[in-house]
Structure 1
């Protein structure tokens, strides 16, 4: 175990199963992120430029990468694109840690999570825990997109799922949901039909019509069961969770999602 020193590319790579690459050109920020990770028992590699980050990632294949966007040579967007374009590095989860709040673009380019500075220790470790494999096993991180027309309600839904260890993408309204879904490929889309102005039918039609999103299951929180009178042909891939107006949704929502993912695991051959 590396006690307090982070590695450079010189010499051997540390154990890739426990190593996080911190890409950060601000020495103080790099030191703080490294400290959080070292205290949590990780080995740490630090890169202060985009080119150095790409070299280290290819050579050492870390467990995960934290990536700043404002770098001196290539910016973080370019680094992320190149990481995801290479067969050697594309499967490494990348958590963006930046002062720029550009979540949609981050997910579109393949980020596993997006944290806006300043980031505290719990937030960083939680983001990494969600999407890195445990003890060499396969990653069990499920990516869930939540859709709502109200920003506060959207954040509330997202918080419920983040606390349950899901990787969450937030989409405000159905158009943003469809555009993000094409790039982020969530495992599930959760929407609330009690949201004012939520055009669920349009969202469903767009998702089903595009090959990239046609097979993404949709979970709809609903005060009523949609029937043929709504113009929706009931089809596979849509689940309705019946809710009463002021009911607490946490338990019902989380149990519905758990059941859905369990069922999908058993029929995993379906793709």
Structure 2
């Protein structure tokens, strides 16, 4: 440390404890943000893993440093070294102007970046010469070269194209040009792409527009569950790009999308036909799994609604067979079957939506088929438009619902509670897994749980498993929260019994979308 080496006098402040000590191989790790000596999800002690990282940075700002001496079972001594007199050298001052400032993320985000907005690149797109009736696509992409490539291929496939790197601008352009398809990158400079996807799919004037997510982020299941038609992981090749625009052309050319209903009860099939069919949706039927597979092999279908209880095979087997031949086909499970935890978890992996048949479930079925068939609400009868408006009113869906937040960081609890209470939700909280179990036993009417995975002693995975063993909570929606966001985290959460997953820092729009999806059921 140059500041300490130059100092005439150095002050040392030491703090010793007689605790459990820190292994030698962890004595560097503990100064990293969000890391602790015991970094497991079930560590004995709580906390965020930020204390020493912040202390180290404060020491550096003051021209000093922190050292640790420790041995397991004998405690630790942390020493802060500071120069008695400290002034920043010209070289350090220049470096400070160049180096970016490290900013701790907020626990709750609205998806919008607070960074200064970079200047938008200019591509010679077609926004100035799109005539009424001409087909256009919107390209939302922050990589200039990739955006130019998409623009070129779109034109080769008969589209006019409009390009922007900004999410805010994209939302305005959708309303101005009414594109027949959108390509969307998730990493945008001003608004997170998840926020854009949610806005597009929760607005009845735009949710019928097919969205192709093209991103380096590997979260295809989340994108498809939120309403994207396809998810393509960068880097991608030209045939894949051409398939995007070919699919957009195909969907635009269809006056009526085709829905396959797989149900052995004829009265149920007739009810669904009456509910959904009109000039923008053609309903075809199959009374068993074999007939459904035969139809799918002989004619194009845009979405499938199926019951799990079929005469010739289980609905689960049918979905697996459909997926092996039609990887991207949206599947809506519509069933009266009492689902076990294992069955719920499996459906979360292989189907877009599961709707349990109740008095209100036909409305939910209409809403979901309208979403996945990309039906323009403006073309529906007035009573159906009003139904969609009511079902997609976020305040109507969330108001009065009881949510339990389980998190050992009171700041996260406060931030999420403040946000959810704005939607008139009834929020309770617990800071440990044990406290969460006791709270749920005392509040059996709970509608949903937000479960942090990194909890002291009893981690989130163990707590979720314990909840699932409690009578009456087998199908309670549980959304797992984790700061790790590592590949495979979602699968691990689902395997433990979680209904869904979201990573921290929590994006408000994505969280609200998940809440609406699960509280709709």
Q: TM-score range by the shorter chain?
A: 0.5 to 0.7
Residue number in structure 2 paired with 1:7: 126
Match of 1:160 among 321, 325, 332: 325
TM-score (ref. length: structure 1): 0.54
Residue number in structure 2 paired with 1:49: 166
- Across the aligned residues of Structure 1 and Structure 2, the Cα RMSD in angstroms comes to 4.0
Give a deviation string over 1:223-268, Cα, whole Å, max 9, x none.
xxxxxxxxxxxxxxxxxxxxxxxxxxxxxxxxxxxxxxxxxxxxxx
Helix, strand or coil at the partner of 2:255: coil
Deviation at 1:87, TM superposition (A): 2.5
Structure 1 segment 105-184 matched on structure 2, within 5 A? 105-130=222-247, 133-135=251-253, 137-140=255-258, 142-143=302-303, 158=323, 160-161=325-326, 167=329, 174-179=343-348, 184=352
Whether the 8 Å contact between 1:207 and 1:213 is mirrored in structure 2 is no
Residue number in structure 2 paired with 1:19: 136
Distance 1:44 1:14, change over 3 A: farther
- Where structure 2 has 5 or more consecutive residues not aligned to the other structure, the ranges are 1-122, 259-300, 306-314, 332-341, 369-521
Match of 2:209 among 75, 88, 92: 92
Helix, strand or coil at the partner of 2:171: helix
Residue number in structure 2 paired with 1:197: none
When Rg is computed on C-alpha atoms for both structures, the one with the higher figure is 2
Distance 1:83 1:21 in 2: 12
Deviation at 1:112, TM superposition (A): 1.4
Whether the 8 Å contact between 1:14 and 1:60 is mirrored in structure 2 is no
Deviation at 1:175, TM superposition (A): 3.6
Deviation at 1:36, TM superposition (A): 1.6
Deviation at 1:13, TM superposition (A): 4.2
Distance 1:28 1:176 in 2: 41
Deviation at 1:7, TM superposition (A): 2.4
Whether the 8 Å contact between 1:16 and 1:60 is mirrored in structure 2 is no
Deviation at 1:124, TM superposition (A): 2.8
TM-score (ref. length: structure 2): 0.30
Helix, strand or coil at the partner of 2:155: helix
How many pairs align?
Answer: 184
Distance 1:18 1:85, change over 3 A: same
Whether the 8 Å contact between 2:214 and 2:234 is mirrored in structure 1 is yes
Whether the 8 Å contact between 1:181 and 1:213 is mirrored in structure 2 is no
Give a deviation string over 1:85-107, Cα, whole Å, max 9, x none.
22221211111011111112112
Deviation at 1:130, TM superposition (A): 3.8
Distance 1:40 1:130, change over 3 A: closer
Give a deviation string over 1:95-126, Cα, whole Å, max 9, x none.
10111111121122211111111222322332
Structure 1 segment 232-271 matched on structure 2, within 5 A? none
- Where structure 1 has 5 or more consecutive residues not aligned to the other structure, the ranges are 186-202, 217-271
